[in-house]
Chain A
Amino acid sequence: MPMHIGEKDFKKRVTKGLEDDFMRGAVRSAQGRLQDKRATAADELGDWEEWRTLGSEIRSHTIEHLDYYLHQLSEKVAELGGHVFFAETGAEANEYIQKVATEKKAKKIAKSKSMVTEEISMNEALEDIGCEVIETDLGEYILQLDDHDPPSHIVAPALHKNKEQIRDVFQEKLAYLKSEKPEELALFAREKLREEFLSADLGITGCNFAVAESGSFALVTNEGNARMVSALPKTQITVMGMERIVPGWEELDIVVSLLTRAAVGQKLTSYITALTGPKQLEEADGPEEFHLVIVDNGRSKILGTEFQEALHCIRCAACINVCPVYRHVGGHAYGSIYPGPIGAVLSPLLSDYDEYKELPYASSLCGACTEVCPVKIPLHEQLIMHRRKIVEDEKKTTLSERVVMRGFEQLVNSANLYRTATKMAPFLTTPFAKNQLITKGPGPLKHWTHARDFPQPANERFRDWFEDRQKRGEKNA
């Protein structure tokens, strides 16, 4: 599966994450910073909850009428002289992009940040036909230099690296001689990338939002690289996930405001670029040829299901930035280019449960993700829905878990059985307990007691106390 990254085994990936102190330090400090900035940016608006409601309504309406808006978009792009290609799969998208690159005899391709191209492994497909693909987003550039280290975050792909590690990558790969100061690192990368922009034969961008009414594409960056990628090369390809669309400019205004505030705590990013088709007669610059590749790759299967709201996502990563599980294991542990809560919801949908059955369980269901989502996706509820599907449709839970759950149902449905069981509990646990504490639990409890003590059930239950008290007539008898 193209979107898969790292080890196949989930447990191994988690262990690797937990043991990586550098990564955990980098993630912890980035999360803290991003959480604070997001909260401040949201508070500034004064009526953040109303904005969220509006954002949710826009996304919900758009996805409900996705066929209509995609049709409108493609008509507009064609009117402007652009080419539109609908790709049902990642492979179809790559074949089309390879075809364009071949026709244009493209050797060097400059690319701005795009998650959907990661999802379909577009770079590899282009490298297979002999193209050199240059990532121009600073984070992606660092990862590409570092022997194609996969992204660990959807907005800040190199979030797992600290500045010293980035300095080391530049030193090793580009003979960089300066310090680990972010300004010096960025300036160095800027100079290197400038050469690439000027010599690229083809520019490929992602798409934050397509605007259906005008056939435009909005790109949100802080580095200006998307503008360079789309302005300099003669041919431009824009690759978009099929749900990344808004009806018009008014809606774009709202969702971009939500995106930049939720993602990086900015009112607006340094650059918000809107591109509309290839260069027109009266225009001075822009690509001579424009191709739009709309990627389905499993998205239409999600439409009409209980997971449709997952398609509302605007890829801000606010859920990732507040997730305590992500904080400890890091992005690579998810094994998908989409990590964190939204990744745990999306990855099994875009791929399958065989590949990602653990992800819906990699959450304490604390709801921090749901609370922070700028378009109100009930992320933790979607994770529960995944669990339900794994139980009921996929039947992928273990026999022992199913037996335990059936037993649980019978136990708590019978007041008598429950009463007997809770009465017996202290006696049954006595062999494992010392001073009313279990420090080495039997069965699944051993996972709990690996680092925590577990209390022994009380000899006198609450109900015994209450009933005794009633008998004694102390209160309310």
Chain B
Amino acid sequence: MKVSFFVTCLGDMFYVNAGKAAVELLEHLGCKVDFPKAQTCCGQPAYNSGYHKETLEVAKHLVETFEDAEYVVGISGSCVYMIHEYVHLFEEGSEWQKRARKLKDKTYELTQFIVDVLGIEDVGANYEGVATYHTSCHMTRLLGVTEAPFKLLENVKGLQLIDLPNRHDCCGFGGTFSVKMSDISEQMVDEKVEHIEETKANLLLGADGSCLMNIGGRLSRNGSSVEVKHIAEILNSRGDL
């Protein structure tokens, strides 16, 4: 199966290990992975801020970039959802809308792709640790991916997964919200961090770099010993136990 990898801008610049792990994992599962170099950002910061004319241009760029892909797999539920939203950005019935719909139909979030398209729930990973998992809002509520990450993590040998209390609460990232309404955002991330500490896990996992950057930033500021990793990094661990 041929996969065009969508690393997202945060993945490209900040979470390089997540991208590397995702590529290696997909290859391990038998996919042939390419990386269309022209890819940039999905445009979500502009879209959520109400700059839709600007987003339209960004969307066109990404539609063109991935036009020839068989499958597009991204490592952020939120950015993948943004790509799905392009369909509603373009004029009803327009050629661009058709192209956007084609892209939507072949674009998946990493865990969703592995479980739903490849039909794999055990990727053969092993990782020793006690982890808790943050369910990102856009990935679960908007993209509708709720089970896949858990199915995959449950099959990781050596990994103990602890339920995060109030896991459906937003971590307070919200894109520009985190700087525009930083005083409120800080309270939200603090609450999330409290819940993480309650689990006594030493590892926080997630499938969205933006939430992990937010929660990780607060954990780091607090001097917490909880490590933060993208789910791809755990699923790509195949060391000796």
To the question of whether A and B form a pair in one complex, the answer is: yes
A361 on interface, CB distance cutoff 8 Å: yes
Smallest CB–CB gap between B139 and chain A, Å? 11
Q: Which 6 A-B pairs have the closest CB atoms?
A: A364-B174, A387-B50, A452-B217, A366-B170, A447-B182, A462-B19
Having A409-B57, A476-B33, one finds 17 other A-B pairs with CB under 8 Å, namely: A324-B169, A325-B181, A363-B177, A364-B137, A364-B172, A366-B141, A368-B168, A387-B48, A387-B49, A411-B40, A412-B61, A415-B38, A452-B221, A453-B217, A455-B216, A463-B37, A466-B23
B226 on interface, CB distance cutoff 8 Å: no
0/1 interface trace, chain B 129-150, chain A, CB 8 Å (1 if under): 0000000011001100000000
Q: Are A413 and B57 in contact (CB under 8 A)?
A: yes
Closest to A329 in B: B184
List B contacts of A365 (CB < 8 A).
Answer: 48, 137, 174-175, 177
Taken together as a complex, chains A and B put the C-alpha atoms of A198 and B12 apart, in Å, by: 72
Q: Considering only CB atoms and an 8 Å cut-off, how many residues of chain A contact the other chain?
A: 62
Closest to B214 in A: A452
Q: Which of A334-377 contact B (CB under 8 A)?
A: 361-368, 370-371
List B contacts of A452 (CB < 8 A).
Answer: 186, 189, 214, 217-218, 220-221
Q: Are A422 and B13 in contact (CB under 8 A)?
A: yes
Q: Are B179 and A457 in contact (CB under 8 A)?
A: no
Taken together as a complex, chains A and B put the C-alpha atoms of A324 and B12 apart, in Å, by: 30
Q: Are B58 and A413 in contact (CB under 8 A)?
A: yes
Q: Are B217 and A448 in contact (CB under 8 A)?
A: yes
Main secondary structure on A side of the interface with B: helix
Smallest CB–CB gap between A319 and chain B, Å? 13
A408 on interface, CB distance cutoff 8 Å: yes
One of A100-108, A183-191, A389-397 at the interface: A389-397
0/1 interface trace, chain A 395-425, chain B, CB 8 Å (1 if under): 0010001000110110111010011001001
Taken together as a complex, chains A and B put the C-alpha atoms of A363 and B185 apart, in Å, by: 9
Q: Are B27 and A454 in contact (CB under 8 A)?
A: no
Interface size band for B? 35 or more
Smallest CB–CB gap between B178 and chain A, Å? 6
Q: Which of B65, B142, B183, B191 touches A14 (beta carbons < 8 Å)? A: B183
Q: Which of A371, A455, A466 touches B14 (beta carbons < 8 Å)? A: A455
B213 on interface, CB distance cutoff 8 Å: yes
B98 on interface, CB distance cutoff 8 Å: no
Q: Which of A433-477 contact B (CB under 8 A)?
A: 437, 439, 444-445, 447-448, 450-455, 457-458, 460-463, 465-467, 475-476
Q: Which of B43, B50, B184, B221 touches A384 (beta carbons < 8 Å)? A: B50
Smallest CB–CB gap between A400 and chain B, Å? 12
List A contacts of B54 (CB < 8 A).
Answer: 405-406, 408-409
B158 on interface, CB distance cutoff 8 Å: no
Taken together as a complex, chains A and B put the C-alpha atoms of A15 and B55 apart, in Å, by: 33
- Chain A residues at the B interface, C-beta cutoff of 8 Å: 14-15, 18, 324-325, 328-329, 361-368, 370-371, 384, 386-392, 397, 401, 405-406, 408-409, 411-413, 415, 418-419, 422, 425, 437, 439, 444-445, 447-448, 450-455, 457-458, 460-463, 465-467, 475-476
Q: Which of B1-22 contact A (CB under 8 A)?
A: 5, 7, 9, 11-16, 19-20
Q: List 13 A-B contacts (CB under 8 A).
A: A363-B177, A364-B177, A366-B174, A409-B55, A422-B12, A447-B178, A451-B189, A452-B186, A452-B220, A457-B13, A461-B13, A466-B19, A475-B27
Taken together as a complex, chains A and B put the C-alpha atoms of A329 and B185 apart, in Å, by: 11
Closest to A454 in B: B217
- Chain B residues at the A interface, C-beta cutoff of 8 Å: 5, 7, 9, 11-16, 19-20, 23, 27, 32-35, 37-41, 43, 45-55, 57-58, 61, 65, 137-138, 141-142, 168-170, 172-175, 177-191, 213-214, 216-218, 220-221
List B contacts of A466 (CB < 8 A).
Answer: 5, 19, 23, 35
With A367-B141, A370-B141 already in contact, the answer to whether A328 and B187 are too (CB < 8 A) is yes
Main secondary structure on B side of the interface with A: helix
Taken together as a complex, chains A and B put the C-alpha atoms of A364 and B138 apart, in Å, by: 11
Q: Which of B51, B185, B216 touches A391 (beta carbons < 8 Å)? A: B51
List B contacts of A328 (CB < 8 A).
Answer: 184, 187-188, 191
List B contacts of A370 (CB < 8 A).
Answer: 141
List A contacts of B181 (CB < 8 A).
Answer: 14, 325, 361-362
Taken together as a complex, chains A and B put the C-alpha atoms of A400 and B56 apart, in Å, by: 21
Taken together as a complex, chains A and B put the C-alpha atoms of A419 and B40 apart, in Å, by: 8
List A contacts of B169 (CB < 8 A).
Answer: 324, 368
Smallest CB–CB gap between A45 and chain B, Å? 20
List B contacts of A371 (CB < 8 A).
Answer: 141
Taken together as a complex, chains A and B put the C-alpha atoms of A475 and B240 apart, in Å, by: 24
Q: Are B46 and A409 in contact (CB under 8 A)?
A: yes
List B contacts of A462 (CB < 8 A).
Answer: 7, 11-13, 15-16, 19-20
Taken together as a complex, chains A and B put the C-alpha atoms of A438 and B138 apart, in Å, by: 27
Smallest CB–CB gap between A176 and chain B, Å? 34
With A391-B49, A455-B14 already in contact, the answer to whether A418 and B40 are too (CB < 8 A) is yes
Q: Are A412 and B50 in contact (CB under 8 A)?
A: no
Closest to B52 in A: A388
Smallest CB–CB gap between B228 and chain A, Å? 10
Q: Which of B16, B40, B188 touches A413 (beta carbons < 8 Å)? A: B40
Q: Are A392 and B12 in contact (CB under 8 A)?
A: no
Taken together as a complex, chains A and B put the C-alpha atoms of A236 and B221 apart, in Å, by: 60
Smallest CB–CB gap between B113 and chain A, Å? 17
Query: Which of A364, A419, A422, A445 lies at the interface centre, i.e. has the most chain B CB atoms within 10 A of its CB?
Result: A364
Taken together as a complex, chains A and B put the C-alpha atoms of A462 and B76 apart, in Å, by: 15
Taken together as a complex, chains A and B put the C-alpha atoms of A381 and B72 apart, in Å, by: 25
Smallest CB–CB gap between B197 and chain A, Å? 16
List A contacts of B217 (CB < 8 A).
Answer: 448, 452-455
Q: Are A415 and B37 in contact (CB under 8 A)?
A: yes
With A411-B40, A475-B33 already in contact, the answer to whether A463 and B12 are too (CB < 8 A) is yes
Smallest CB–CB gap between A448 and chain B, Å? 5
Taken together as a complex, chains A and B put the C-alpha atoms of A437 and B221 apart, in Å, by: 10
List B contacts of A397 (CB < 8 A).
Answer: 49-50
List B contacts of A366 (CB < 8 A).
Answer: 137, 141, 170, 174
Query: Which of B183, B190, B213 lies at the interface centre, i.e. has the most chain A CB atoms within 10 A of its CB?
Result: B183
Closest to B170 in A: A366
List B contacts of A437 (CB < 8 A).
Answer: 220
